[in-house]
Amino acid sequence: MPDATHHEHEHEPLTFSEHSRLLLAIHTAMRADGGRLITATQGLQDRGPSDARALSRAFAEVVMLIHDHHWTEDDVTYPFLIERLPGFEHDVAKLAVDHIDLDAAMARVTAGLRVLTRSLTPRTWHETQCRLVDDTRAFNRIMANHLDREEAAIVAPFDSMISRADQRHLSRAESKLSTYRHIRMAVPWVLANTTAAEAAELRKIAPRLIGVIHDHGWQRRFERIMAPLYRTEVAPTPSTRAGASTAA
């Protein structure tokens, strides 16, 4: 007769640490914004410099959020994991190259948007906008591959091999790099790309004051700045391991 206890264990939902849930939520936001950016740059075909300027400002916030996330990984997260996960230094070599490639890809998109903020001939506008769409697709492809690679290298090993005490230590070290400017955009950014249930779980992780400030100020500011990117909604693409990311 089959072991009922073993059978039930095999079908238990996968659970993630608080650190991994937050990482996956950030990745979900990045993936969703990549899709939105393609749609938004395609939509510039029949628009003008003022629309490109507004989209450029929204994308600048995305770039800032991604840079902050990656710099925290480069300076704190990756060194921490190298000391504790056997063989992780080999993964970091590729992940670090991914960060460099993403910086270059974001720079190309930023430059293309900046050109479109000027008065151009119809032909130059069309050629620049077409190149921008291609650069946006390339950025999205590089980012998606990087996120898949990083989740495969980090999430399961982190949750299975890093003690809870060390997990808390890492979270504290990462939080020391978070400026007010980053937090006031990162919180609404992540919450805007979650389901209601996922948002409720993430709110439990954060101090209550953060949620109050978000609801009474940060959210409205985020929606105003990001409207050019978010007005054409693209359903968030969950991280490859995010199906159970809100499991307790």
At residue 232, the pLDDT reads 55
The three-state (H, E, C) secondary structure of the chain, written as one string: CCCHHHHHHHCCCCCCCHHHHHHHHHHHHHHHHHHHHHHHHHHHHHCCHHHHHHHHHHHHHHHHHHHHHHHHHHHHHHHHHHHHCCCHHHHHHHHHHHHHHHHHHHHHHHHHHHHHCCCCCHHHHHHHHHHHHHHHHHHHHHHHHHHHHHHHHHHHHHHHHCCHHHHHHHHHHHHCCCCHHHHHHHHHHHHCCCCHHHHHHHHHHCCHHHHHHHHHHHHHHHHHHHHHHHCCCCCCCCCCCHHHCCCC
Task: State mean pLDDT over 177-183.
Answer: 88
Check residue 53 and give its pLDDT: 96
- How far is Cα of residue 226 from the mean position of the Cα atoms in its chain? 15
- Could you read off the pLDDT of 117-150 as tens digits, one per residue? 998 899 999 999 999 999 999 999 999 999 999 9
pLDDT for residue 3 is more than 80: no
From CA 129, how far away is CA 78, in angstroms rounded?
A: 37
- Each residue's pLDDT tens digit, 86-126: 999 999 999 999 999 999 999 999 999 999 999 889 999 99
Question: Does pLDDT of 18 surpass 60?
Answer: yes
Residue 208 is predicted with a pLDDT of 81
Q: Most confidently modeled of 61-70, 176-185, 237-246?
A: 61-70
Which tens digits make up the pLDDT trace of 38-79?
999 999 988 889 999 999 999 999 999 999 999 999 999 999
Instruction: Report which of residues 75 and 9 the model is more confident about.
Output: 75
Rounded to two decimals, what is the model's pTM? Answer: 0.84
Q: What is the pLDDT of residue 239?
A: 52
pLDDT exceeds cutoff 80 at 7? no
| 192-232 per-position pLDDT tens digit | 999 888 888 888 888 787 888 888 889 999 999 999 999 85
What residue ranges define each of the domains in the chain, with the CATH number in brackets? 17-227 (1.20.120.520)
